């Protein structure tokens, strides 16, 4: 099998047969190569363009992967730094408490309503999230169990953790509204 048209032409006795054999061996349309007899083949620039395209695609993929890993690492650090406070609901006065928490990718602002030492409502005012919208249903478990310390929603763990931290923050430090 020949590497390119020039090598094949030099070794072939008949140029026409040489082109045909080259085209069959390399699976190249014969009409494409007929115009290149005696001058530089058009295959070389195509190969170069392909290499350049592959290098550019590789660089783009590498950059995107690097950005993703950087964001993921930052998110992991942010989740570890979330604060959770122990709050005795027996001393909590009735009212609405404001709380918030955030990480690199998730931000939550909410209000927690407490009545008779129980969490009676959680209203999420703002939830900036990636794909963690389904984490908002965690508030139902918090109200039912009367604590922020509940299991995270599967598939929305980061958003769940931020919502739990915001509720904890509201109950411990939030400004009470009547």
With cut-offs at 50, 70 and 90, classify the pLDDT of residue 112.
very high
Q: Cα separation of 150 and 130, whole Å?
A: 21
Helices (H) and strands (E) in the chain, counts: 6, 4
Token pair listed for 63: 């950059």
Q: What is the chain's mean pLDDT, rounded?
A: 80
Higher-pLDDT residue of 42, 112: 112
CATH for 82-177 is: 3.90.1010.20
Give the residue-averaged pLDDT of 38-63. 77
pLDDT at 3 over 50: no
């Amino acid at each position: 099998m020949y590497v390119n048209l020039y090598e094949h032409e030099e070794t072939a006795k008949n140029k026409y047969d040489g082109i045909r054999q080259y085209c069959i061996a390399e699976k190249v349309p014969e009409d494409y190569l007929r115009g290149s007899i005696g001058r530089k083949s058009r295959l070389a620039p195509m190969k170069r363009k392909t290499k350049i395209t592959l290098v550019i695609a590789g660089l783009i993929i590498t950059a995107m992967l690097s950005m993703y890993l950087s964001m993921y690492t930052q998110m992991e650090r942010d989740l570890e730094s979330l604060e959770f406070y122990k709050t005795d609901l027996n001393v909590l006065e009735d009212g609405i408490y404001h709380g918030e928490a955030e990480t690199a990718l998730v931000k939550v602002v909410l209000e927690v309503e407490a009545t008779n030492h129980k969490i009676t409502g959680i209203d999420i005012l703002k939830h900036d999230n990636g794909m963690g919208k389904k984490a908002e249903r965690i508030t139902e478990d918090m109200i039912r169990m009367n604590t922020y310390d509940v299991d995270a929603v599967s598939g929305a763990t980061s958003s769940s953790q931020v919502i739990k931290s915001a509720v904890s923050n509201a109950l411990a430090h939030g400004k009470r509204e009547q």
